[in-house]
Structure 1
């Protein structure tokens, strides 16, 4: 599949997630395998999954010595005591699902949804397993993923801009555009470059977006459209803004 931007990725993510949540339990293993493949294959979602591992490393450490598919009673009590909020529950759900996804174990109809019974004593039939799995593993994970898509800050150069961060940067670009007009620098080519930079924020990570910005701005200098001093000021202004986007 081609590389998706943030808008396209979120739409596809929601389609996959909804399909999994409401599918027949017999189809869940195949659908979840496809879902995880998609998330690890796309650059933006792959980075989000890596960030979950980084940001919730303490929880991952606790899970390290636990057999996800064969947890003992003491382990389940200890780990569930750590899940004091929805975000930790989501990270826990992802770690368990991803552990099974990366395992070479034989897939079967209840391969993933069996987590609902192993960790939360679902009892009943397999549809009850699926309900517990959705409640305690899958839905908290999808909510956490969407939080990263919407609200997370670009902490590292490898991070992509969340939708909230994109809006903040777009507002800053609009202010820069207005400032250029006020200073009598209103050439169409500059505005076209700003519009291109605004569109690329949906595709590029922080490092590459800033590098692309620098290349475009100094291209305007070589074309004698901007003065070198103006260009450096513009780049520094945007770099400082991007590096200090509020959480």
Structure 2
């Protein structure tokens, strides 16, 4: 059976969501809404995926991307930019998203980051996440101001999209939750850097541990703080 929102015309879906007070309202302008998704539906697109990545800034660990196709008639309550959510709320929403939506995750490795640069690696992770959705989406809402060059699906870049689109917000939540859990696991293998708390970002503890403990295989050698230690600049 097709998801509820696929059984309605775009106009009917708009009216149904408006009745449910889900279609973005003045009472909560700081949260993302589904207006971009509705606009895409009205253009004739049926499978709309939000795409986001996390992990551009850390000194260690991969960059992780997610692509999410939501059922717009059954949205998890409280979707928002993952950075605005508490860890507890983010974990709960991630579980809801996995249970109610189509989700794919992908990474670009530390080696790829060092080889092709962090921007291109972020786009590569996004491309991989989109490619993992089966069946593929027919429209993409992508966080940021650039569309990854190898995507062939009709796409829209949305600056600060995780604060505007529920689909992008959902992608940001599952990507961050997955990457944070990975960094907790890596912290057990390489204690002292505080990855279980800083997720590889350059906190004071992390920078001090780099000097005292050295560079691990999970550090990005092209990033200046790591490069300086390796080459004693």
Query: TM-score scaled by structure 2?
Result: 0.29
Structure 1 or 2: larger strand share? 2
| Bigger Rg over Cα | 1
Structure 1 or 2: larger helix share? 1
Question: Which structure would you say has the larger RCO, counting Cα contacts within 8 Å and 6 or more residues apart?
Answer: 2
Query: TM-score scaled by structure 1?
Result: 0.28
